Structure formats: C-alpha cells, structure tokens
C-alpha cells in the first residue's frame, strides 16, 4: 500500500455547481466509492437543489474534471529556465537537446525522486490530476543496466505516490541514434533497451499492475520516435505489446521537427506519420505526441484511426518546433489532448489558452476553437482535452460521470479572476483571465490532495528541491546555507 493510500468509506458530496458531460448542473449529489470511483450522480429538481442531504460534504465553488497530462518528461523539470540564452543564431531544438542530454546523464535516482515529486505537486496545484510519464532513462550513468529493480523507474512511481497524482508510466524503447539504424551516441547510452527486454519488462509490469489493483497507477509503453526505433522493430514490438494487453496505451513522438520529417522521407521514402499509418497499427489506444508537421491527409488518417494527438504548445513554442493545426484537426472530429512535456509551463490553462491563440494568429479571428454547440472556448477546450487525455493515458478520468474516478478541481468563485463569472463562463475565466490561481482544492480518486491551495508535501520538499537544483545547475557552487530565523 502506498504511503498516501487510505481506506475510504463511501462518501457523498453536494456540489453547488459542477460540469457534467451534459453541461453545468447545480445541486448535484455525488456518491464516491471506497475505491475513489463515482458510483452515482443525482440532480434534484428545484427548489430541492439548495438542500444537501444529511452527511454530505458540501463543496462550494465550481467543480470541474481534473486534467490528464498526456505527455511529461519529469527529469526535465531540473533544467527549466537554465537553457534560455543564445549560443548561436542557429539555436534550435537540436542545440537544446544537447543540454538536455547533459542533464539526463547526470541525474541519479534519488535526485529524480525529488525532482519528480516537486513537479507532480506543481501539476496538482495547477490542475493536472494524472500524468503519462514518457520515460527513457533506463540505465546507470555509466551505461550499465540496473541489477534487480530499475531505480530510475521506481523513483517515478514513488514520486507519484507521495504527491498523490494518478500515473500512467510509459517505459520508452530507444535503440538508434537516427534514421538509417545509426548507433546510439555516447550521450544516449543511458536510454538503450533491447526489444526483447522491453517487451518482457512491460509484460511483467502489466502483470504486477493486475496483482496490485491500484486505482491510480498503471503501465503503458512508448516508442521514443522513428529516429530512435526503426519502423520494422516498432511494428514487431507493437504487435507483441498488443498481445500483452490490446488496450495498452502506446505513445510516440512524431513529426515534431521539419528536419525529422525530411530525414524520415530520405530514409524510408515516406513522412513519419504516413509511415506509421501505413503499418495499420494505429488505433484508439495510440497517442501521437506533437504531430506538429502533419499534412491534411495525415490528420485525416489519425482522426479516422481514433488515435489521440497530444500537443504541448509551451514546449513546441519554447523549442521553435512550429504550431499544430488544431482547428483543422478538431473540425475532423480528431481527439486532441495536452501535456507539459519539458515542463517550461506546468499549467493546463496556459496550454489551452495558447492553443486557441495560435489559431487566432493563424486565422486572424477570435474564438476559433469554439463550436455552435459549445460557444464557450474555455469549456469546449477543457472538456475535450480532459476526456481525450483520459483516452490517451488509459485511465477512467477526464469527466465527472458514473464509473469515472473522482478527480476534481474546485474553482473559488470569490477569487478576483472569477469575480462575477457565472458557472458557464468559469472555464473561460480559468483560461483567459489568469484563473489558474483560482484552483482552490484538488481531489484524486476521492481523496483531497490539495486543500486551500496547499499540498502537504510542500514544506518537506522546498529545501530539498532548492539544494538539489543548486547542485545540478552549479555543480561547483556550495549548497544554500541553512538560514536560522531571527527571534
């Protein structure tokens, strides 16, 4: 049992205002099971909506589904802000990658535990209640495999347990340094896994998940990219993974950079997404991360397959990747979700705001991603990203509905950013009025993990994280001195 697990009795909550799949409701009575799942939702007719049943906990404010974070590299939280200086006029994703490799080759399991715990607390306070961790740190710093349990993998699971966030752990296959089966470089050695070991380890973890029966943690799988996994290997391994569990979440970075697209075409005669679609493997359990440089035909193929696309507008902008054509993909009924990726922004409201703003700049009009049936941009984007994020991570979250996990955010209607906002405009304020500061309480699996904007792990984490960052960013500098408060 994790340190955050508790025996929960069935509980009732009276929600003053809640976003349900069918729209906003007032006076909803929600029953949550011992396992943290929503068992029943009852909406009383007026005037009974103002009368909570005896024993129910009343939740004032606007209650909305917690957001799944469909793409995260936790260790990269340790370099946020440290690569924002010019080395040359040609700085790009590829020069940033060298700095990232430096961090990846220094960080140790005990350090990853601190970084990931800090990050997961930040995610919860910002509105992410579950995360897909796309993890390709597999070996010791000297390139040797771990004997027994993989300490780097264990650090991520322990961090999620401490923070209380839902986790889909995605061990990631990484075998080649570039297209054409080029060998891994020295600074990529820590990422290496053999295909047979990868399949075996995924199988063992899936079996362990079944025995453990966790309501908040599960295993999926990822292929780093078509640069790092040849298409023939990907196809063979994907079929074996489907044999382990046909519903296994499978993620892959794809078409993030034009250089990648052009190199794939030279090596394989096809663009990366085109190549993936040709395998016939892509289905509703796959998540294509970035897909920044997609053709109309490729977008149609992804939408037809029912797969999700995960964008991280903050990372894609930070690295100069380009802008995904969200408006076109959503018009195709495509399934779009969001992630924090490199952690330059750990804020789902900001990701969604800039998704809309990119489309406004491109199309030179407003409210581009609203629809006739949902004119509120904030509601449309939050609702859709939450439900499709749940699809991507393979967890029963993303909506406040019977059978789903009770992962909720409570927005404070008295916060200045929500001042005067009616319920149906609350998510517009969350996205476009700096409303993330109005997230007052956060629940995961029926347990409050943030109350009144405070997480219990914050106090213990602060000094550990500060000292660790000093060592990581300034290896030769002394650690922060201990400060004794004056009387």
Interval 68-120: pLDDT, tens = 999 999 999 999 987 777 777 677 777 788 888 889 999 999 999 999 999 99
What are the residue boundaries of the structural domains of the chain, listed by start? 11-65+406-450, 67-393
Tens digits of residue pLDDT in 390-415: 999 999 999 999 999 999 999 999 99
> With the C-alpha atoms ordered 295, 297, 299, 305, is the resulting torsion angle positive or negative?
negative
pLDDT at 3 over 60: no
Mean pLDDT of the chain: 93
Q: What is the pTM of this model?
A: 0.94
Tell me, what's the pLDDT at 148?
85
CA 207 centroid distance within chain: 24
Contact 129, 405 (CB under 8 A): no
Pick among 2.30.40.10, 2.70.150.10, 3.40.50.720, 3.40.50.150: CATH of 11-65+406-450: 2.30.40.10
Q: How far apart are CA 307 and CA 294, in angstroms?
A: 14
State yes or no: pLDDT of 275 exceeds 90.
yes
CATH architecture of 67-393: Alpha-Beta Barrel (3.20)
Q: Which residues of 267-279 are buried (b: 16+ CB within 10 A; e: fewer)?
A: bbeebbbbbbbee
Per the CB < 8 A criterion, the answer to whether 311 and 324 are in contact is yes
Residues in the chain: 487
Is 341 considered catalytic here? yes
Q: Which of 24-38, 75-89, 372-386 has the lowest mean pLDDT?
A: 75-89
Q: For the residues 369-388, what does the mean pLDDT come to?
A: 97
Contact 110, 153 (CB under 8 A): no
Phi, psi of 30 (to 5 degrees): -115, 125
Banded pLDDT at 486 (limits 50, 70, 90):
very low
pLDDT of residue 47: 65
Q: Which of 290, 293, 335, 376 is catalytic?
A: 290
Question: What percent of the chain has a predicted confidence (pLDDT) above 70?
Answer: 94
Beta strand spans in 280-343 (E): 286-290, 308-311, 335-338
Is 483 or 272 the better-scoring residue by pLDDT?
272
DSSP 8-state symbol, 90 = T
Does the annotation mark 178 as catalytic?
Answer: no
Mean pLDDT along residues 261-286: 97
Which of 321, 325, 341, 384 is labelled catalytic? 341
Q: What is the DSSP letter of 474?
A: -
Q: If you ran DSSP here, which 8-state letter would residue 228 be given?
A: T
């Amino acid at each position: 049992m994790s340190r955050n697990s508790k025996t929960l009795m069935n509980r009732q909550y009276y929600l003053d205002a809640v976003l349900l799949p069918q729209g906003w409701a007032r006076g909803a009575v929600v029953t949550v099971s011992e396992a943290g799942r929503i068992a029943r939702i009852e909406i009383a007719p007026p005037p009974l909506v103002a009368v909570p049943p005896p024993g129910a906990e009343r939740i004032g404010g606007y209650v909305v589904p917690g957001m799944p974070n469909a793409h995260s590299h936790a260790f990269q939280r340790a370099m946020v802000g440290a690569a924002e200086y010019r080395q040359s006029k040609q700085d790009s994703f590829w020069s940033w990658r060298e700095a990232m490799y430096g961090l990846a080759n220094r960080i140790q399991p005990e350090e990853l535990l601190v970084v990931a715990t800090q990050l997961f607390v930040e995610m919860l306070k910002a509105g992410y209640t579950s995360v897909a961790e796309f993890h390709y740190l597999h070996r010791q710093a000297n390139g040797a495999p771990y004997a027994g349990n993989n300490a780097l993998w264990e650090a991520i699971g322990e961090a999620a347990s401490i923070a209380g966030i839902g986790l889909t752990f995605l061990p990631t296959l990484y075998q080649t340094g570039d297209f054409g089966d080029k060998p891994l470089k020295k600074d990529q050695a820590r990422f290496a896994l053999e295909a047979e070991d990868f399949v075996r380890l995924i199988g063992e973890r899936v079996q362990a998940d079944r025995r453990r029966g966790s309501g908040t943690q599960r295993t999926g799988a990822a292929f780093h990219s078509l640069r790092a996994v040849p298409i023939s290997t990907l196809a063979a391994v994907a079929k074996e993974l489907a044999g382990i569990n046909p519903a296994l979440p499978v993620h892959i970075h794809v078409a993030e950079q034009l250089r990648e697209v052009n190199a794939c075409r030279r090596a394989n005669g096809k663009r990366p997404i085109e190549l993936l679609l040709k395998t016939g493997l892509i289905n509703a359990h796959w998540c294509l991360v970035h897909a920044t440089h997609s053709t109309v035909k490729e977008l149609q193929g992804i939408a037809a397959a029912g797969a999700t696309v995960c964008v991280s507008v903050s990372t894609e902008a930070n690295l100069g990747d380009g802008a995904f054509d969200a408006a076109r993909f959503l018009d195709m009924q495509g399934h779009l979700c969001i992630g924090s990726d490199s952690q330059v922004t750990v804020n789902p409201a900001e990701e969604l705001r800039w998704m809309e703003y990119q489309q406004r700049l491109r199309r030179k009009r407003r409210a581009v991603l609203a629809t006739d049936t949902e004119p509120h941009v904030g509601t449309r984007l939050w609702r859709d990203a939450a439900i499709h994020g749940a699809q991507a991570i393979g967890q029963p979250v993303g909506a406040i509905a019977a059978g789903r996990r009770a992962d909720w955010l409570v927005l404070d209607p008295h916060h200045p950013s929500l001042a005067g906002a009616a319920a149906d405009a609350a998510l517009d304020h969350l996205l476009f009025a700096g409303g993330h500061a109005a997230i007052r309480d956060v629940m995961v699996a029926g347990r409050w993990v943030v109350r009144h904007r405070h997480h219990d792990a914050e106090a213990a984490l602060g000094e550990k994280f500060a000292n660790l960052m000093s060592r990581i960013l300034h290896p030769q500098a002394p650690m922060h001195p201990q400060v004794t408060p004056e009387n």
